């Protein structure tokens, strides 16, 4: 197994895309490149001699995503449409 970013002192990211086979695991970032479409891709060290490339948006370096655990963005005046039993509705 490859050394973790904490062990090597390099940049590390977690794969956050919920359907990726490496979801929830941390890897060392070996390289970052922007492809012709403008998308940033990361090259991750997943084994002693094995690299995987993933979009940066599928990692903790990407923007917040509703698919990422802990994601919650609400406007100050937003109101839930379905309330749990016993909760108070918005004014």
Regarding pTM above 0.85, the answer is no
- Residue 12 maps to a domain: yes
What domain range is 48 assigned to? 5-58
Q: Residue 75 domain-assigned?
A: no
For the chain, give the DSSP string.
-PPPHHHHTS-EEEB--TTSTTTT-EEEEEEEEE-TTS-EEEEEEEETTEEEEEEGGGBTTSPP-TTSTT-----TT---SSPPTTPPPP-
pLDDT score for 19: 87
Per the structure, the count of domains in the chain is: 1
CATH code of the domain in which 47 resides: 2.30.30
User: Would 63 be classed as within a structural domain?
Assistant: no
What value does the mean pLDDT take over residues 50-60? 92
Which sign, positive or negative, has the C-alpha torsion 3, 45, 61, 67?
negative
């Amino acid at each position: 197994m490859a050394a973790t970013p904490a062990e090597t002192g390099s940049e590390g990211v977690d794969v956050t895309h919920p359907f990726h086979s490496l979801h929830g695991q941390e890897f060392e970032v070996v390289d970052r490149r922007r492809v012709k479409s403008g998308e940033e891709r990361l090259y991750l060290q997943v084994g002693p001699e094995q690299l995987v490339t993933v979009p940066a948006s599928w990692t903790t370096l990407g923007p917040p995503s509703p698919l990422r655990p802990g994601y919650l963005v609400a406007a100050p005046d937003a109101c839930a449409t379905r309330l749990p039993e016993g909760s108070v509705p918005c004014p």
